[in-house]
Amino acid sequence: MLKPIPTRREIIKEIKDEGGLVAAVLPIHYSRALLRAFSIYPLEVWGPPKVDDNLGGAHLQTYVCSIVHNALSFLKTGGLDDADLIMVPHTCDSLQGLGSLLIDLIKPETAVIPLYLPRDKGEESLSFLAAEFHSLFTRLSQLTGKKPSRDDLLNAICREEESDLLLDKLYRNRQTTGLSNLDFYRLVRSREYLPAESFSKLITAQLQTVTEPQPGIPIILSGILPEPMAVLSTIDNMNGLVVADDLAGCGRRRYAPGKSPEPFRRMAERILYAPPDPTRGNSLAERIKYLDEMAQSSGAKGVIFYEVKFCEPELFDLPSLREALKELGLSSITIEIDINNPLPHQVATRIAAFLEMLDN
C-alpha cells in the first residue's frame, strides 16, 4: 500500500511558513542542490493538465507541445503566483521559445531565469555546464542577497545524492514494493516537488514493505512523462507491469552521485552522466544499447513509447530506434497524446492489443 504523500499545496505552505522561497522549474534537467543551497525549493511544472490551453495558444504556435502550452496557460491563470522565481532550462526549441517569451514579451513580475544545457558529454560540455551553474549561483546571490559557502553547496549536493540513491533503490526493488503501476509512479513523481529530506523519508518507509514479486506482462515505458496518469491504471487493468522506464521525468533522472570535490563540476557530472536522453543530444546508438540492456535486466517483453505530440527530440529518432529494437527482438508500440485531454479509448484498445500480443 502506498504511504500518504503530501500535496503540492501543503508543501508550498510549509515552505512559505518556514521562510523559504519557491522556484517553479520547467522540464527537464537542472540542479536541485544549487537551488536548495539558497533555501529555494524547486517545484516542477510539467505542463499541468486540465487548464485552459487557449491562454497559451494566444502566444504559441499550434504545433508546440502541450507541456509548453499548458505551462504558459497555467502561469497566465495565476497558477505560478506562489513562485518566487521561474527557471526555464533550454531543453528543446519549444522551451527555449517559452523562456524568450517570458523574458522579452510577457514579462511576469516573477524573475525568469534561463538555464543553458550542453548537447553532448565530455570535458568541454562538463566545463560549460559547471560554468553555467556558477553563473546561476551569481544570479541567485543577487536575487536573494545570500552567498552559500562551498560547504553549504556540498551539503546540499550530498542531501540530493542520498535521496536519488533511495530512488534508485526503489526502482531496483520495483517488483517487490507491492505497488500498482499507478501508485509506483505517483510515488516516483512526488520527487518533482517534495524536498529531498521529505522524499527520502517517504521512500525509506515504503521500502520497508516487501512483497512477493508481482505478476504481469513485463514492459518498459518510454517517453517524456506518464500523463495523463490514467495510462498507468489502464496498464494495471490489462495485467501489464511496468518493470522499467525510460521516461524523461522519471527513469532518465536516476542521477548517480558525482565524483568531483568542486561543487559546480559535481552538479554538472550528475546531469551529463545520467541515462541517455535525446534532449541532451545523446546518440541513437547509446539509447539502443541502454534500452536493450534495460530489457534484458528487467525481463521486459516490449516497449510502449508514450509520447507527447509534437515533441521533436523524442519523435525524431523514434523510427530508427524502434527498428533497431525490433532487430534485437524487442517489440514496441508508439502512442502520441496531448496531456490536456483524457486518455482516448483508442489508446486503451491499442495497449490491450499490444499486451495480448506480448503474452502469446
For 276-302, the pLDDT digits (tens) are 999 999 999 999 999 999 999 999 999
* Per-residue confidence (pLDDT) for residue 121, from 0 to 100: 84
* Residue 31 and residue 130 in contact, taking contact as beta carbons nearer than 8 Å: no
The pLDDT value recorded for residue 270 is: 97
Mean pLDDT of 300-322: 95
What average pLDDT does range 351-356 have in this prediction?
Answer: 96
Res 214 pLDDT > 90: no
Q: What is the pLDDT of residues 16-39, one digit of tens each?
A: 999 999 999 999 999 999 999 999
Write down the pTM of the prediction: 0.95
Q: With helix as H, strand as E and coil as C, how does 43-93 read? A: EECCCCCCCCCHHHHCCCCCCCCHHHHHHHHHHHCCCCCCCCEEEEECCCH
Secondary structure (DSSP) of 176-216: GS---HHHHHHHHHGGGTS-HHHHHHHHHHHHT---PPPPS
Query: What class has domain 8-150?
Result: alpha beta
Q: What's the confidence (pLDDT) of residue 224? A: 96
Residue the block writes with cell 529531498: 196
Task: Round to whole Å and give the CA distance between 187 and 5.
Answer: 8
Q: How open is the CA angle 83-46-286, to the nearest 5 degrees?
A: 130
pLDDT bin (cut points 50, 70, 90) of residue 164 is: very high
In the chain, domain spans: 8-150
Predicted pLDDT at 71: 94
Q: How confident is the model at residue 263 (pLDDT cuts 50, 70, 90)?
A: very high
What DSSP character marks residue 102? I
Instruction: Please list, residue by residue across 19-29, b when 16 or more beta carbons sit within 10 angstroms of its beta carbon and e when fewer do.
Output: ebbbbbbbbbb
Angstrom distances, CA of residue 69 to CA of 55, 79, 116, 207: 8, 14, 21, 37
- Note whether 170 and 206 are within 8 A (CB): yes
- Output the CA–CA distances (angstroms, integers) from residue 229 to 171, 251, 339, 342, in the order listed: 18, 16, 9, 9
Model confidence at 312, pLDDT cuts 50, 70, 90, reads very high
* pLDDT attached to residue 180: 95
Burial 75-114 (b: 16+ CB within 10 A, else e): bbeebbebbbbbbbbbbbebbebbbebbbeeeeeebbbbb
- State the Rg of the chain over Cα: 20
The average pLDDT across 115-140 equals 95
3 pLDDT exceeds 90? no
Q: How confident is the model at residue 335 (pLDDT cuts 50, 70, 90)?
A: very high
pLDDT at position 49 is: 81
Q: What pLDDT, in 10s, does the model give residues 169-202?
A: 999 999 999 999 999 999 999 999 999 999 999 9
Q: Which residues contact 166 (CB under 8 A, 6 or more apart)?
A: 199, 200, 203, 204, 207
Report the distance separating Cα 334 and Cα 43, nearest Å. 30
What DSSP state is assigned to residue 269? H
For residue 300, the model assigns a pLDDT of 97
68: confidence class by pLDDT, cuts 50, 70, 90:
very high
Region 114-136 average pLDDT: 95
| Alpha-carbon span 31 to 255, nearest angstrom | 11
**What gap in Å lies between CA 81 and CA 45, rounded to an integer?**
13
pLDDT in tens, 77-89: 999 999 999 999 9
Quick one: pLDDT at residue 51?
Answer: 86
